[in-house]
């Protein structure tokens, strides 16, 4: 009985310590897995990652990437040999990742979104809107816009690229291909500009 009472007493404390998925902690609603405390510190995925692996450090040959929207996986090849596989989260319904054949045309290790992010109060850096869309709403007075982090960014289509991001276990982005941080780093390091990218359903 005492143990049960103790657990019930703790419930309000546990609930109070967990902010909503999209807000509170200084993070962008769009990239709700990002911790604003340190720019390279990402929260772990809510589902076990038994998919991703990298075995390409000693492989040679031209790089290529295949993204499968149905499987929610990205495959990295070197010289036609499979070097690594990553689970991903692609564009949600209405903002789907476009299928087709592309090439990596830009790389930016510390890229931030120019469209989605947060509005912060000048001077205090307090988040006043964690779901800001820079092109669709004015910056509130006394505030500034900070783009959502999209680190290890590999752009391959207009406003679409691969990058470190939060993976809820299903297609959830605004078109980009989100990846676990370790895999995004490997893809970024091994894919030069010009790397072919195939997106298939």
- Is residue 179 within 8 Å of 163, Cβ to Cβ? yes
**In the structure encoding, which two tokens stand for residue 16, read together?**
């109070």
CB atoms within 10 A of CB 12: 9
Cβ pair 187, 73 in contact under 8 A: no
As a dihedral over the C-alpha atoms of residue 107, residue 36, residue 27, residue 110, rounded to 10 degrees, the angle is: -10
Q: For residue 28, give both structure tokens.
A: 């962008």
CB-based burial of residue 188 (10 Å sphere; 0-12 exposed, 13-18 middle, 19+ buried)? buried
Residue 20 in tokens: 């909503």
Q: Which residues are catalytic?
A: 163, 176
Widest distance between CA atoms in the chain: 66
Using CA atoms, how far apart are residues 50 and 18, in angstroms rounded to an integer?
26
């Amino acid at each position: 009985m005492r143990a049960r009472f103790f657990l019930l007493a703790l419930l309000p404390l546990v609930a109070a310590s967990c902010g909503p998925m999209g807000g509170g902690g200084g993070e962008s609603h769009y990239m709700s897995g990002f911790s604003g405390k340190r720019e390279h510190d990402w929260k772990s995925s809510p589902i076990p990652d038994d998919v991703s692996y990298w075995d390409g450090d000693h492989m040679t040959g031209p790089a290529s990437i295949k993204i499968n929207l149905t499987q929610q996986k990205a495959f990295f090849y070197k010289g036609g040999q499979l070097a690594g596989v990553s689970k991903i989260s692609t564009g949600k319904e209405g903002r789907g990742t476009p299928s087709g054949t592309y090439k990596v045309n830009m790389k930016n290790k510390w890229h931030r979104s120019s469209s989605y992010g947060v509005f912060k109060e000048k001077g205090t850096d307090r988040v006043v809107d964690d779901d800001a869309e820079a092109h669709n709403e004015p910056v509130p007075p006394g505030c500034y816009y900070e783009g959502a982090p999209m680190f290890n960014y590999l752009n391959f289509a207009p406003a679409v690229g691969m990058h470190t991001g939060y993976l809820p276990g299903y297609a959830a982005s605004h078109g980009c291909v989100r990846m676990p941080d370790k895999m995004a780093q490997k893809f970024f390091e091994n894919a030069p500009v010009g790397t072919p990218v195939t997106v298939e359903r």
